[in-house]
Copies of this chain bind each other. A is one copy, B any other.
């Protein structure tokens, strides 16, 4: 049980108490850093169940058309650069560095470390970055011309965002399962639109009360405010939101359906058969957030969940 800070809003209290409840139930294992947790087997079983439901929704929508691709949690800096993430979300970024020196340089590192000094200055960029969104590593492999019907991919993996928070729904490391489309502009827009009701259906099958709302990404800084307004005005991002903390906030986005227009197509050199820049769209299921919504809505013990939900999850 963490101690309540002296000044804590009702929302902060609700988030802290939910996190404490998850830790006490043994579902999440604290690591000493906000937003980074180990997961117990029982939590992973819920994640696997959600994956089961998401895959089924994918099969219903796309048959076997979606190409399954999995990427590790790190990918090349060169691809990261093309996403422009460092321009829009620098504060969430995870850059990787390593030691590339010789014996004397290593001794210098260890001397600083023994003196209690930071030793990061002895490291060099490793050429890699942590994956910020599950779909990012996929675009580099599509450089060139995509088929006339476009490319459809099923991607799933760990994402990293540096935003330490007490709210268990804001983790620094979490999984996202996405269906990504790259192709003609109208087909990309249709992919995004179609996945809003499909996503709502996945959540309804889990008896989660979700609503779809226009949204924007948390672009950094003053210039970012303009990007956010544009994204919302052009209706490019829809979030499916579940209220984890009642009326204390506007709810937590557990699914997001997005159209990137020509952003990735332009930067990664992806074209359609007619030579135009390809558009892309993706729907992302936030696996940990859906698990938390289930635990918040139906109770901490999955044994007491309605039979229909357990069946949907394959539990």
Contact = CB atoms under 8 A, between A and B. Distances in A.
Interface residues of A, number: 68
A68 B97 contact: no
Contact of A41 (B31, B69, B141): B69
Contact of A120 (B36, B95, B141): B95
Interface in A190-249: 220-222
Nearest to A138: B38
A68 B94 contact: no
A308 interface: no
Interface string A28-48: 011111001111110010000
A90 B99 contact: yes
Contacts of A96: 94-96, 130, 160, 162
A34 to B, nearest CB: 10
A106 B90 contact: yes
Given A95-B97, A95-B123, A100-B91, A72 B36 contact: yes
Interface string A50-80: 0000000000000000011111111110110
Interface string A103-141: 100100110010000111001011110100000011011
Contacts of A138: 38
A31 B79 CA distance: 8
B95 A69 contact: no
Contact of A126 (B103, B119, B162, B171): B162
Interface string A232-273: 000000000000000000000000000000000000000000
A38 B70 contact: yes
A222 B239 CA distance: 55
Contact of A39 (B69, B95, B220): B69
Contact of A158 (B69, B73, B93, B171): B73
A172 interface: yes
A268 to B, nearest CB: 12
A95 B98 contact: yes
B109 A99 contact: no
B41 A67 contact: yes
Nearest to A77: B33
Nearest to A122: B90
A309 interface: no
Contact of A103 (B31, B36, B221): B221
Contact of A68 (B41, B128, B171): B41
A127 B33 contact: yes
A98 to B, nearest CB: 4
Contacts of A33: 76, 78, 127-128
B72 A173 contact: yes
19 contacts: A29-B141, A33-B127, A36-B74, A38-B69, A40-B67, A41-B68, A41-B154, A44-B68, A87-B113, A90-B98, A91-B99, A93-B98, A93-B99, A96-B162, A98-B162, A103-B221, A126-B162, A128-B162, A158-B158
